[in-house]
Chains A and B, each alone.
Chain A
Amino acid sequence: MSDKLIIKTENLKKDYKEDGVVVHAVRGIDLEIKEGEFTAIVGPSGCGKTTLLNLISGLDTPDDGKVWLDGKAISDMSGKELSDFRRDNIGFIFQAYNLIPVLTVEENIEYIMLLQGVPKKERHERVLKILEEVGLSGLENRRPTQLSGGQQQRVAIARAMVSNPKIILADEPTANLDSKTGSELLDMMAELNEKTGMTFLFSTHDKMVMERAKRVIVLKDGKIVDKSEIDIV
């Protein structure tokens, strides 16, 4: 882990209107995450975890405050620049895996490289390599529906990592998995974090994630209520 700040937010705020009622999802969050951190944002449902991840990744725009990723203010980017920035710098892992069902495992993983303009041969080689790393060698021609939940989430991890992003944002990545599979996946992600130095930021209320995280940020009613670092060693 280096001292370089990879994620920084300043007074981040976001409100939603639900049935005419204003919901303060995120209420002035200041956050700094260093390169290579393995961090979990925890809190009860509705505390603003997903909204915070969306704001950090530029999927959503804040009502107030700023986000810097790798030193760049994402609020200054155009829609196209932001798409390209996400493509090249952020890997996403979603709770429900969200693989494209009509594409094979290989095609799902190579899609992001296609967006980057990586040549076909290199795409294929990188897919095989990443599948080996996530323990899914030989399954490249299967459709997502032919895989178990754990395998699908591994594919999602492979898809998130194949473009060598600086940051991996994972929204409740183990929520749909049984504890054994979830535990295996977390071990794998921790190992990849160690190996690649990529920054991992999870939103979760899974105890296993909290136990493995090197740092836990507790969120309540859209505010950070406690910041602590857990020395897993």
Chain B
Amino acid sequence: MSLYLKLAWRNIFRNKRRTIISGIAIAIGLASLIYVDALYIGMKINIVDNITKSFISDGQIHRKGFRQRQEVELTVNNPDKVIKALKKNKMISDFSLRTYSFSMISSSNNVNSVLLVGIEPDKEKTISQIDDAIIKGNFFEGKGDNQIVIGKKLADILEVGIGDRIVITAAQAHSSELSQELFRVSGIYYLNNPEMDKGMAFIKIGKAQKMLNIGDNFHEIALKFKKGTDLLNIDKLPFWKNFSKNGNEALSWMGLFPQMKVMFEMTNLSLALVGLILFAIVALVIINSLFMSIYERMFEFGVLRAIGTRPLVAFKLIILESAALGIFSILIGIIFGFIITLIYTKIGIDYSGIEVMGVTIKNIIYPVMELRQFIIYPVIVFFITLIIGIYPGIYAAKLKPAEALRKSL
């Protein structure tokens, strides 16, 4: 090790207590950044998981304009071709067809408007969590096409239970004729999502197609991507462009839920702000520590300058001390950050029940550690220590030897 490095490293430990306090302050800042970053990733994954597994799925394909107008006639164009292409696509693990129509639902006691969704029950099980949310009855396990699954709130409004009769009235495509069918409640779900619990009802897709008079057509294809797909960056895949043709549009969950993308961007911004505040604290701690160290050793600097240390070398000595303090603090910070984050990756943080932008967090959030957190943040802290060292370094370089020798006498 060069003598300059030895000098810097040993100098920072001349006042052990100060160095340890400064080091811990910087380390706590670094550890907090690592932890908050890991927590944000965990939270994002949790929210994305909630979105994609609820009903939205990883992505959807519709006829262009359907999402805005919700017209029954706007079924997916070239359905057979699209289905064939999806079956061939290596990124897709499963997909499910759906129909939609705004309908009237009535029981012997009450009436309500509802979004009637025709689904493929077996496939839907792999795509969404409706089947997992059943609190009474079952998810289309019985025989016959006249089964209907409704939300708990809707059941309360209609005052119906399992086995009770319900009448659905829907407008048919093209003719606008009304179609009416009798169903029996086979299942009641509770998703802890007011809109879905009150405003949606599920029937089998075959029955829905008949009621809406749309033949074998459908309004939506809900997509599930293979495991390992980066759902946080799914919108960057070429898939969406490839399937957005012939009058159809393919959108990832991010495209369907743009407010969540904005929220994630804001989260990144707030992380950057937290980082900025922490880095400012780190900067103040280092400046304070270095200046105290210089003032304490004023005579020594006078001697060093007297015996021929050039101003640039005096500057270098302070920068090296700053770097040494940075390395010491970073090592502690990495250890702190690793231990704290590791503990929370095991026990998690329970935010279940909290709603974020209309998405209810259902599961415990587990922070996610990434190698990046242990490289980028320490490197930033290290460069900050170097940059911060410039000011005290210039001060040391500009010290006039005679004044330095006099000041401490």
Contacts and interface: CB of A to CB of B under 8 A. Distances in A.
> 7 closest pairs, A vs B, by CB?
A87-B308, A102-B10, A60-B402, A59-B402, A59-B401, A98-B303, A54-B402
A84 B308 contact: yes
Contact of B311 (A59, A80, A111): A80
Contacts of B299: 96, 98
Interface string A98-130: 101111000100111011100000000000000
Interface string A143-176: 0000000000000000110000000000000000
Contact of A103 (B6, B307, B309): B6
Given A92-B303, A103-B10, A115 B311 contact: no
Of the listed residues B3, B10, B13, the one surrounded by the most CB atoms of chain A closer than 10 A to its CB is B3
18 contacts: A57-B306, A59-B400, A59-B402, A80-B311, A80-B312, A83-B309, A86-B306, A86-B307, A87-B307, A87-B309, A94-B303, A100-B300, A102-B6, A102-B7, A103-B3, A110-B3, A112-B308, A115-B309
A83 B7 contact: no
Instruction: Name the prevailing secondary structure of the B interface residues.
Output: helix
Interface of A: 54, 57, 59-60, 79-80, 83-84, 86-88, 90-92, 94, 96, 98, 100-103, 107, 110-112, 114-116, 159-160
Given A59-B402, A60-B402, A92-B307, 16 more contacts: A59-B400, A59-B401, A83-B309, A84-B310, A86-B306, A94-B303, A98-B299, A98-B300, A100-B7, A101-B14, A102-B6, A103-B7, A107-B3, A110-B3, A114-B3, A116-B308
A22 B10 CA distance: 41
B297 to A, nearest CB: 9
Interface of B: 3-4, 6-7, 10-11, 13-14, 299-300, 302-313, 400-403, 405
B408 to A, nearest CB: 10
Given A94-B303, A100-B7, A102-B10, A79 B311 contact: yes
A61 B308 CA distance: 16
Contact of A83 (B3, B310, B402, B405): B310
A116 B66 CA distance: 80
A90 B308 CA distance: 9
Nearest to B9: A102
B308 A86 contact: yes
A59 B403 CA distance: 9
B303 A83 contact: no
A59 B300 contact: no
A86 B312 CA distance: 15
Contacts of B405: 54, 59
Of the listed residues B10, B308, B400, B402, the one surrounded by the most CB atoms of chain A closer than 10 A to its CB is B308
Contacts of A94: 303
B23 to A, nearest CB: 17
A88 B306 contact: no
Contacts of A86: 306-308
A90 B305 CA distance: 12
Contacts of B304: 100
Contacts of A80: 310-312
Contacts of A83: 305, 308-311
B107 to A, nearest CB: 86
Contacts of A160: 307
A47 B4 CA distance: 38
A116 B307 CA distance: 11
A87 B311 CA distance: 13
B371 to A, nearest CB: 36
B302 to A, nearest CB: 8
Contact of A92 (B3, B4, B306, B310): B306
Contacts of A112: 307-308
A98 B305 CA distance: 12
Of the listed residues A84, A88, A114, the one surrounded by the most CB atoms of chain B closer than 10 A to its CB is A114
Contacts of A87: 307-309
A205 to B, nearest CB: 16
Contacts of B400: 59-60
Contacts of A88: 308
A111 to B, nearest CB: 6
Nearest to B309: A115
B402 A111 contact: no
B153 to A, nearest CB: 73
A98 B409 CA distance: 12
Nearest to A80: B310
A112 B305 CA distance: 11
A140 to B, nearest CB: 14
Contacts of A90: 308
Contacts of B6: 102-103, 107
Of the listed residues A60, A83, A86, A98, the one surrounded by the most CB atoms of chain B closer than 10 A to its CB is A83
Contacts of B403: 60
Contacts of B300: 98, 100
